[in-house]
Structure 1
């Protein structure tokens, strides 16, 4: 045991294991089978000290002393803290309380679940909404702390999404996306991703976000100058939903240079980012302007071809779809795509059989006219940014 706790039946267990038992819906003591009068176990400090003393005595055998665990926050404490946040009289007071909540949430998964179960997401979202139009250093610091805390509460419930999906909060999220520091931009795009991905009326919220000046530029800037992998993934997800819902903005994304940025990412991206980047590129290639931008880049076909069957089924689907869209261009350009795809060499699977069959028929026309070359290595290609 690392953190011994005693149930109402008098039996002591390790906290993590007994909490897993209780969270699984069990309301009885595993050993005695007696019903539990309370689901909140009591720390067994005497046994914990004995365990730590034993660890110290046996350190010569490589045993490390177990650190004294933090006592998890209770539902009652969470409720009181959230109530104080909702009734805070000043930005300074609210900032201190939100900081305290954020610290407790980060201490353990149990604490996080406790906050989520007590409606922390909607409380924090409502606090953000109520002051999103405010100005001043204290207000901005509080808004940033609220955004950071909200990112710990995902997935958000419908009430929290409703608060954040209104015009005021969305405009403030975009403001942080454009003008915030590194942590502010990261939190803003993570919250924006959660709202757009989970909002009931996605078309409505996407339209609202698109109408806010600077949204597209802020998202592209996060791709060009990434803060962290999480923010890059979130930016790609937001862009994907935007171009899937609102075709007219594809041309604007192309103007902002998104296609070459996506191709640069694809050169050596890890699986999750690769899938999302391919999804965005596939969406951009739904329009002629996106296809033109893709065909103008020398890396498009070789990079996309090399993702087939080498990343995941989803990446393969997107890759085949992109090649299919490019092959539907005018005859001369289509021929170039097909010939290059054969030269690089690629394979496909059953999930995209219909498009693949048609592509293979087109490729077959040029099979005898080209010679396959060795696989290309993109690891040392210098990025354009």
Structure 2
């Protein structure tokens, strides 16, 4: 028994895969709700509109669609970068299959769309979290191996200074002691916070306001700070001092980048924006409610060669930088089951911090 057209349409409307039917001129004849969501346009507004006006990949892709109508050949494209009618870009897998129109029997194209952005983001976050955990384990092991001989070197230098016949010679043992202390402090910073986090109710906006005060003092008022807060964000359980440190490290990096290139920037500006996001996935864990804190600057952007390893310890774009700030920030946020992401181009860099607001 053949299924009726009504039943077929109902099945298409319940698919998670986007489905479109185009005529021979590539105009939309049918679009299911999943495709409407991907294209960010209602079905009524899609009908009769050329597909390439709704979602444009390249001129070659239009030629390929027309060629498929003529030859009857199917094809599939993976991770295609599509620009929507509203200038937003998304990543899609899509398959094109020539079919006959169910009523007119004229040549048509059936296009199946599968969004890739969310899956790619989840995969990217899982890799980032795994890298961070591996790095922390490596740093802990290396730090302990360094601290053990440092203690012996420092102690031996102290004993030696007591046995020296002249006070003038203690200058050299003092150098050994000072350099051993400097290396110990560096190792301690690599290990991150040494005390157990104090869990308390923390208002994220109080944290950000404290960071703003510090940035205003350090920059001597040379940076404009824009605030765009969502006052409905509830308090979260966290260590307030560590939260301030995590946000301050990011803001301080932005401040330094803007001030160092200030002749090229008319007005260095730092924007702090907070919002809530519902049903948000971090790594493999889905959260009902997440706080999103965006820290945006109009500096020169992050060099391309640093982006892949930006959160690793000792990675810095500044000659005098230690490369520990972002690594420590990511570690603090990871401990709260959150994550830090970034997007950067010349003139605009955004660090987005995602913190779950429900207790796991």
TM-score per shorter chain, which class?
under 0.3
* Greater fraction strand: 2
Normalised to the residue count of structure 1, the TM-score between the two structures is: 0.20
Normalised to the residue count of structure 2, the TM-score between the two structures is: 0.21
* Greater fraction helix: 1
